[in-house]
Structure 1
Amino acid sequence: MTLQVCIMTPDRIFWNDQAEEIILPTNTGQMGVLTNHAPLITALDIGVALVRSKMEWMPVALMGGFALIKNNQVTILVNEAESSKQIEPEQAETAFTEAKTRLEEAEGEKQRVEATFQFKRARARYQVIKQLSAV
């Protein structure tokens, strides 16, 4: 038995297919989902989702949203989603390094909040590239 996973952004269906397992970046940490998972709605943080389909892992950068799990269907609604095919490795690494520096140098609450948001986005994209090379 498998999960039906659908990842949607505001402008398109990013991915819609069967998977054996998915690991989601929730606001309280990573959460694994297998078949026959209890019904659940959870908020998603900016981070990397891992989808296992046919014994291969596919990393996807998710930019915050929600996930609904019910009857072996996982519906993921996010602001943005990117796969490794859409991310330029050198650009992702540069953006991650710059975002990390901005976060370390941030002064004041507003700058820290903005720098943290940019850091999380850059880190998610960078981790997708690193996950791909580790798999």
Structure 2
Amino acid sequence: MPIQCQIITQEREVFDEDVDIVLAPAVQGQVAILPQHAPLVTALAFGEVLVRQGEKETAFAVGGGVLQVTPSKVIVLADSADQAQEIDVEAAEEARRRAEELMREGAPADPEEYASLQAAMLRAKLQLKVARRHRPRSGTGPRAMDFSE
């Protein structure tokens, strides 16, 4: 019996399918959600959300948000969410370089501008990590879920 998983941002619905397991980065640590899980609401950290449907695994770079779980449904309300296969690695690399360069030039005086710059850098680094980990590489087969990070 699968569990419905929705991943939603302010801009769009990123994912909505029945899955066997959801692995998400809660602020207290990684959580694994299976069908019939106890109700749960928790804040999400920047990290990788993995969903598995049989042998198929889909990864998302998620930039914080809220995770809501009922016995039959998982809702990820994310500040940002990008499926690994959709991430533009060149654009993420450029965003990371630009943010690091601005940080080296000195921290902005405005706390909101500084927080925004830090968030942009974290998001770019996360996108690169998720894209590189889950993009197919020649000569390799499917990769198993890694619960160690």
Structure 1 length as normaliser, TM-score? 0.81
Residue 131 of structure 2: aligned partner: 129
Name which one, 1 or 2, has greater alpha-carbon Rg: 2
| CA deviation vs aligned residue, 1:60-105 (integer Å, no higher than 9, x gap) | 1122211111112101112222112321122223433444555566
| Higher normalized helix content (fraction of residues) | 1
User: Aligned Cα RMSD in Å?
Assistant: 2.4
Q: Do the aligned partners of 1:106 and 1:115 also contact (CA within 8 Å) in 2?
A: no
**Structure 2 unaligned regions, length at least 5:** 137-142, 144-149
* Whole-angstrom distance in 2 between the partners of 1:109 and 1:27: 26
Residue 22 of structure 1: aligned partner: 22
* Cα 1:106/1:26, change in 2 over 3 Å: farther
Q: Do the aligned partners of 1:25 and 1:46 also contact (CA within 8 Å) in 2?
A: yes
Map 1:4-19; keep pairs closer than 5 Å. 4-19=4-19
Residue 117 of structure 1: aligned partner: 119
Secondary structure class of the residue paired with 2:135: helix
**Structure 1 unaligned regions, length at least 5:** none
| Higher normalized strand content (fraction of residues) | 1
* Whole-angstrom distance in 2 between the partners of 1:31 and 1:105: 38
Q: Do the aligned partners of 1:48 and 1:127 also contact (CA within 8 Å) in 2?
A: no
> Following TM superposition, where does structure 1 have runs of at least 4 consecutive aligned residues deviating by more than 4 angstroms?
100-106
Map 1:54-69; keep pairs closer than 5 Å. 54-69=54-69
Return the offset for 1:133.
Answer: 3.3
Aligned length: 135
Secondary structure class of the residue paired with 1:42: strand
Residue 35 of structure 1: aligned partner: 35
* Cα 1:104/1:43, change in 2 over 3 Å: farther
> Which range is displaced more, 35-44 or 79-88?
79-88
Q: Do the aligned partners of 1:68 and 1:74 also contact (CA within 8 Å) in 2?
A: yes
Structure 2 length as normaliser, TM-score? 0.75
* Whole-angstrom distance in 2 between the partners of 1:20 and 1:93: 33
